[in-house]
Chain A
Amino acid sequence: MAHLIRVGCSGRLSKYSSVVGATRSMSTAWWRHVEPAPKDPILGVSEAFLADPSPHKVNVGVGAYRDDNGKPVVLNCVREAERRIGGNLNMEYLPMGGSVKMVEETLKLAYGDNSDLIKDKRIAAVQALSGTGACRLFADFQKRFSPDSHVYIPVPTWSNHHNIWRDANVPQRTFHYYHPETKGLDFASMMDDIKNAPNGSFFLLHACAHNPTGVDPTEEQWKEISYQFKVKGHFAFFDMAYQGFASGDPERDAKSIRIFLEDGHQIGCSQSYAKNMGLYGQRVGCLSVVCEDEKQAVAVKSQLQQLARPMYSNPPVHGALIVSTILGDPELKNLWLKEVKGMADRIIGMRTALRENLENLGSPLSWEHVTKQIGMFCYSGMTPEQVDRLTNEFHIYMTRNGRISMAGVTTGNVGYLAKAIHEVTKSS
């Protein structure tokens, strides 16, 4: 692609050198060589869905929670927080590191209310533009301070992970993760890859509710992974986008991170409130990096801010205020915990319903993985061609890797969805 761009570029240069004499006419088109970008494989699905006029259409593409009527949800705790902050204060720039209060509360969620790391101020943390922004800041930070390092990314992963580390110019390698035959974790191969990677490699791990597969290591497996990381001196970067959404209990969903911390790993972590607080469009998240001591944490934080400054100067306030209002008030926080559990429970219910529907239709395939996988997504095992049939024949929208966003499944559409899936898979 870069080669094509450069060819186009030099083509343009020679073209306009003949036009240089004309001054007042329409200047040469500078951007003619710009190709249309491919549609984003995830966000492009929603665009296509919106454009579809069919009354039966179902969107199980992007990971945005829907209620049982298929409607977006704004949590009650969020509405209440907005009432409290509405028409308030001012909109002055946040510090470059973002809202201090929001970051404090956010660290407690990941590291534990009584974390020694927090007490000892060993965590460098900044507010970030949701999970994407946190990952990007970390990738840029990794590039700047470990310029020779690679990042090991699981196969598969959220597609934007590849874009992020690529645009940060960090070379990528992959490690085994998903096992297509079992639709579960390929633990043995994953451990081999961890062992074979050079000592001190950087690994991207999904803390819970792996996206897109929904396949998470067990607690015992996490302990083994952590041990192996110690032996190899690897760096663990956790992307935690679904805390609370996996099991319904945020403490439980942070277990993988806590295991690593107990073992003394100095981790990095991206946290997002897009899903678990429904603050998608507000772009609220946090990047944290555990350091050896407070002084180093201050230095690292200053460098993270230095990376953020030429990207967006300082992060947006509105979502951060919502988060800190909720988490800072015990009553609101309890309400939030209830509502998160409610969302997680609805999804677990839909998993059961989808599986039962498919089994009742007499599907020849096993759909056990639908209920074994965890979080917002189900990696159905369908091929791109089968997905295309779902879209073209049944107006069901999902990403071509066969990932179903269970959040988009309702009691109203689960029957239709099961029938369609059965239709395109029954002969496989």
Chain B
Amino acid sequence: MASSPILSLASSTASSALPCRRRFLHNLKATSNQMTFLGNDHINSKQSFFRTSMSVAVENSKFTDITMAPPDPILGVSEAFRADTNEMKLNLGVGAYRTEDLQPYVLNVVKKAETLMLEWAENKEYLPIEGLAAFNKATAELLFGTENPVILQQRVATVQGLSGTGSLRLAAALIERYFPSSKVLISSPTWGNHKNIFNDARVPWSEYRYYDPKTVGLDFDGMISDIKAAPEGSFVLLHGCAHNPTGIDPTPEQWEIIADVIQEKNHIPFFDVAYQGFASGSLDKDASSVRMFAARGLELLIAQSYSKNLGLYAERIGAINVVCSSSDVAHRVKSQLKRLARPMYSNPPIHGARIVANIVGNSDLFSEWKEEMASMAGRIKSVRKKLYDSLCAKDNSGKDWSFILKQIGMFSFTGLNKAQSDNMTNKWHVYMTKDGRISLAGLSSANCEYLADAIIDSYHNVS
């Protein structure tokens, strides 16, 4: 680095330490293979020569020790995919819905809602900290049903959040502030960002068994046992439907037992509902686990996202709901959620909230949405079937691939390990996450056979 000798001469403090730190950074770059995921421009080691006028009295950078953060295991996949020039490449990484032509899909109802919004030409004033009132009403009703007692009794504190992530983060911050000695139980495995959220919010967490690699199914006994073993009053993070990354959901009977155990241990259920409508195709059906818990009179936390089911990914629209014992408590909880949001982003973005409120609030648009939802979920189900059929047809080993059919939602947990997943990428240009998760939303029926070949090869020939 041509600039370092100049810098070490010019700096006034800790100059003797500076060359050492630069060497450390240099070594880090040389050995890390994580750099490849980041695209071309950063690797270009264009020399940046210090302008002599600026080297006078420039203070030492306070950030010299800062190392490169690892690429995000999920979002980093898309970046790597984009950089790949192979024509067979498949992006089965991030959970973003694609049409059969592998194009992103803007729902018709969303286009209609946006057209209406353009015509109405409403203003862009700040929303209240808790978000758009019409959205908050719509989102809670969608989750619980308009006639649900928790809604009628006004026992739900609902605050618009920055999609699922932002809503989870608000809940985590609430837990940290009001239950500083409690921990969150998360499934093993779970969405990669859950741990980051609780870590950054300084909420301790531990895992409960969930995925059984032997059956590629639910380790129900392990799950129940771990939830029972946790200290009383723990928060149990549950995926409302279409578990991410496994696609494995408890059956209705199993949900009842989970609820029993949670009640026995006085735990607090904490639902992440990112795929309402995407699991079965029915918005109501996919909310049944949440509604069953609420019907038992439990207090619960629920984070929602409209990224997938309304395709509003980049608008960042979701909500955190806290079902409380009374409307008075709900009122207070809502005020504290606001107090956490204010120093994070002041108030949430309007655009996505208006889209959702306009769709859910208009019976024609709402019906049309339900149809589009069903057809998106339907495409995924049919692609699952095609993949399963291709695997059965091509694989002569007698391996049981039926877990693919049993799983639900956007993702499938293939059971491939890290080395096998790497083989998928390196040899077959199939981009997926290292835990063996593939996003069926990114699969077209035309690609099922190619994918089947890749999976069979990786499973049998790589260990």
A contacts, CB < 8 Å to B: 5-6, 9, 13, 16, 20, 23-38, 40, 43, 47, 62, 64, 72-74, 78-79, 82-83, 86-87, 89-96, 116, 120-122, 129-130, 132-133, 136, 140, 145-146, 160, 163-164, 166-168, 199-200, 230, 233-235, 263-266, 274, 278-283, 289, 291-296, 298-300, 302-303, 305-307, 309-319
> In the complex, what residue of chain A is closest to B200 when comparing beta carbons?
A310
Determine if B65 and A96 form an interchain contact, defined as CB atoms under 8 angstroms apart. Answer: no
Decide if B189 is an interface residue (CB 8 Å cutoff): no
Bound together, the chains give a CA A199 to CA B111 distance in angstroms of 55
Other than A145-B66, A266-B58, A299-B63, give 10 A-B pairs with Cβ distance below 8 A.
A20-B232, A20-B266, A29-B325, A73-B123, A90-B311, A136-B344, A264-B58, A266-B59, A296-B66, A303-B69
With A37-B338, A235-B62, A283-B348 as contacts: A31 and B178 at CB distance below 8 Å? yes
Residues of A within 8 A of B54 (CB): 264
User: Is B406 close to A, CB under 8 A?
Assistant: no
- How many whole Å from A246's CB to the nearest CB in chain B? 21
Contact status A91-B347, CB under 8 Å: no
- Picked from A62, A160, A294, A318, the residue with its CB within 8 Å of the CB of B351 is A318
List, in ascending order, chain B residues with CB within 8 A of A37's CB: 332, 335-336, 338-339
Contact, CB under 8 Å: A200 / B59: yes
- Closest chain B residue to A169 by CB distance? B202
- How far is it, in angstroms, between the C-alpha of A299 and the C-alpha of B260 when the chains are bound? 48
In contact, B196 and A86 (Cβ under 8 angstroms): no
In the bound assembly, the distance between CA atoms of A146 and B165 in angstroms comes to 26
Set of chain A residues within 8 Å of B179, measured between Cβ atoms: 9, 30
What B residues does A40 contact at CB under 8 A?
A: 129, 338-339, 342
Q: Is the CB of B349 within 8 A of A318?
A: yes
Smallest CB–CB gap between A132 and chain B, Å? 4
Give bound CA distance, A120 to B121, whole Å. 41
A93 in contact with B63 given A36-B331, A133-B344 (CB within 8 Å): no
Contact partner of A25 (CB less than 8 A), chosen from B106, B297, B343, is B297
Chain B residues with CB below 8 A from A313, complex form? 75, 162-163, 165-166, 193, 316
- Least Cβ–Cβ distance between A158 and chain B, in angstroms: 10
For B165, what are the chain A residues with a Cβ–Cβ distance below 8 Å? 309-313
CB 8 Å contact bits of B306-318 with A (1 = contact, 0 = none)? 0100011111100
Give chain A residues whose Cβ lies under 8 Å from the Cβ of B224: none
Give how many B residues have a beta carbon under 8 Å from the other chain's beta carbons: 113
Chain B residues whose C-beta falls within 8 Å of the C-beta of A315 in the assembled complex: 316
Residue of B at shortest CB range from A293?
A: B48
Query: What residues of chain B lie closer than 8 Å to A300, measured between beta carbons?
Result: 63, 66
The answer to whether B60 touches A233, judged by C-beta atoms less than 8 angstroms apart, is: yes
Q: Mark B119-130, 1 if CB is under 8 A from A, else 0.
A: 001011111110
User: Are B349 and A316 closer than 8 Å at their CB atoms?
Assistant: yes
* Residue B29, interface by CB 8 Å: yes
User: Could you say which residues of chain B place their CB within 8 Å of the CB of A302?
Assistant: 38, 68-69, 71
Q: Does B1 make an interface contact (CB < 8 A)?
A: yes
CB pair B162 A166 closer than 8 Å: no
Query: Mind listing 19 A-B residue pairs with CB under 8 Å?
Result: A5-B177, A23-B264, A27-B299, A40-B129, A40-B338, A73-B123, A91-B106, A129-B162, A129-B345, A163-B343, A281-B347, A282-B349, A282-B351, A293-B48, A310-B169, A310-B201, A312-B169, A313-B316, A319-B351
Report whether A296 and B59 are in contact in the complex, using a CB–CB cutoff of 8 Å: no
Q: How far is the CA of A291 from the CA of B29 in the complex (A)?
A: 17
Task: Please name all residues of chain B whose beta carbon is closer than 8 Å to the beta carbon of A312 when the two chains form the complex.
Answer: 162-163, 165-166, 169, 316, 345
The docked-state distance in angstroms from the alpha carbon of A280 to that of B115 is 21
Give the CA-CA distance A199 to B56 in the complex, in Å: 18
A309 and B313 in contact, given A27-B298, A289-B63, A316-B351 (Cβ under 8 angstroms): no
CB-based closest 8 A-B pairs: A317-B314, A90-B104, A163-B343, A312-B162, A281-B350, A29-B325, A129-B345, A310-B196
Which residues from chain A contact B53 at a C-beta distance below 8 Å? 264
Q: Are B200 and A31 in contact (CB under 8 A)?
A: no
Docked pose: A203 CA to B459 CA in angstroms: 56
**Contact between chains at A136 and B48 (CB < 8 Å):** no
Give the shortest distance, in Å, between A98 (CB) and chain B (any CB).
10
Distance in angstroms from A226 CB to nearest chain B CB is 10
Q: Which of A13, A82, A133, A317 contacts B315 (CB 8 A)?
A: A317
Q: A36-B335, A90-B105, A307-B200 known; A299 and B61 CB under 8 Å?
A: no
**Interface contact A266-B61, CB-CB below 8 Å:** yes
Asked if B51 contacts A116 (CB within 8 A), the reply is: yes
Contact in complex: B64, A292 (CB < 8 Å): yes
CA of A257 to CA of B315 in the docked complex: distance in angstroms?
32
Of the candidates B3, B68, B311, the one whose C-beta lies within 8 Å of that of A293 is B3
Q: From the candidates B45, B60, B75, name the one contacting A96 in the complex (CB within 8 A).
A: B75
Given A25-B297, A282-B351: A311 touches B48 (CB 8 Å cut-off): no
Q: Is the CB of B46 within 8 A of A79?
A: no
Judge whether B72 and A24 touch: CB under 8 Å.
no
Q: A5-B178, A300-B66 are in contact. Are A292 and B3 (CB under 8 A)?
A: yes
A35 contacts B25, C-beta separation under 8 Å = no
CB distance from A422 to the nearest CB of B (A): 30
A167 to B173, CA, bound (A): 10
Q: Are A78 and B343 within 8 A (Cβ)?
A: no
Shortest C-beta distance, B376 to chain A (Å), equals 14
Which of A33, A120, A310, A319 is B48 in contact with, Cβ under 8 Å? A120
- Min C-beta distance of B208 to chain A, whole Å: 20
* Complex contacts, A133 vs chain B, CB 8 Å: 344-346
Pair B169/A93 contact, Cβ less than 8 Å: no
Question: Would you call B344 and A87 a contact (CB within 8 A)?
Answer: no
Q: Please indicate the chain B residues that have their CB under 8 angstroms from the CB of A303 in the complex.
A: 66, 69
Q: Are A299 and B68 in contact (CB-based, < 8 A)?
A: yes
A280 interface neighbour in B106, B125, B333, Cβ under 8 Å: B125
Task: Given A199-B13, A296-B64, check contact A136 B125 (CB 8 Å).
Answer: no
